[in-house]
Amino acid sequence: MSTHRDNTGSKIGMWLFLLSEILLFGGLFILYSSYRYKNPLDFHLAAWELNRVLGTINTLVLITSSLCMALSIFFIQKGGRTLSAFFLFATIFLGLLFLGLKYVEWTVKIGHGLYPNSPHLLGRSKGEVLFYGLYYSMTGLHGLHVLIGLFLLSVMLVLMLKGKLNENRFIPLENTGLYWHLIDIIWIFLFPLFYLMT
């Protein structure tokens, strides 16, 4: 007896979830745009303190991880299970690298006494306090999503190695890929707004 599978329905479900995620981050972007409008100079000055090199590297890391994700899905459709598993592993590795670099960035900032509600930060101007509040919340929420994505990707890798994901059934991998690409898109917007503002 075969189970009923609805690939299109499954995909619609994932897209609906992604739309809700876009609205979630969208709300935070609204907050960012409002506070930036009110404190343009403070936001500009605070942005200089962020590490542009690490931010750019992280952007390239996520873009490459999206490529690996797409290639993984491409190869499993063609039956190339080894290649697919390799690229899936590469995606996970790059995701971990992203989180590692984020950890380094945050540690440096916290080491300088710049974290939400720190006495050092509260001594600064109101606009800078807002900037850092938004920085930690938005990159933190994004990082949490990356962590969840990594967990999902690992589950997919296990399923693939067990043979449960193959050229006949790969929609879970596709849907996980959609989630991962969305994380990339969110970072594509976060990066210039926090690191590159002029």
Q: Check the CA dihedral 174-175-179-185 and report its sign.
A: positive
| Site membership for another protein, residue 49 (CB under 8 A) | no
Own/partner contacts of 57-63, CB < 8 Å, gap of 24 or more, are 57/101, 58/98, 58/101, 58/102, 58/187, 58/191, 59/187, 59/188, 59/191, 61/94, 61/97, 61/98, 61/101, 62/94, 62/95, 62/98, 62/183, 62/184, 62/187, 62/188, 63/184
H, E, C per residue of 52-96: HHHHHHHHHHHHHHHHHHHHHHHHHHCCCHHHHHHHHHHHHHHHH
Complex with another protein: residue 105 or 174, whichever CB lies closer? 174
Site for another protein in 135-194 (CB under 8 A): 174, 177-178, 181-182, 184-185, 188-189, 191-193
> Which of residues 121 and 187 has its CB atom nearest to another protein in the complex?
187
**59 is a contact residue toward another protein (CB under 8 A):** yes
Interactions with another protein, residue window 24-43 (CB under 8 A): 26-27, 29-30, 33-34, 37-38
Nearer to another protein, 121 or 139 (CB): 139
- Which of 94, 89, 72 minimizes the C-alpha distance to 81? 72
Indicate whether 74 belongs to the interface with another protein (CB under 8 A).
Answer: yes
Near another protein by CB under 8 A: residue from 24, 60, 104, 108: 60
CB nearer another protein, residue 110 or residue 188:
188
For binding to another protein (CB under 8 A), which residues are involved? Answer: 11-12, 15, 19, 22-23, 26-27, 29-30, 33-34, 37-38, 52, 56, 59-60, 63-64, 66-67, 69-71, 74-75, 77, 174, 177-178, 181-182, 184-185, 188-189, 191-193, 195-198
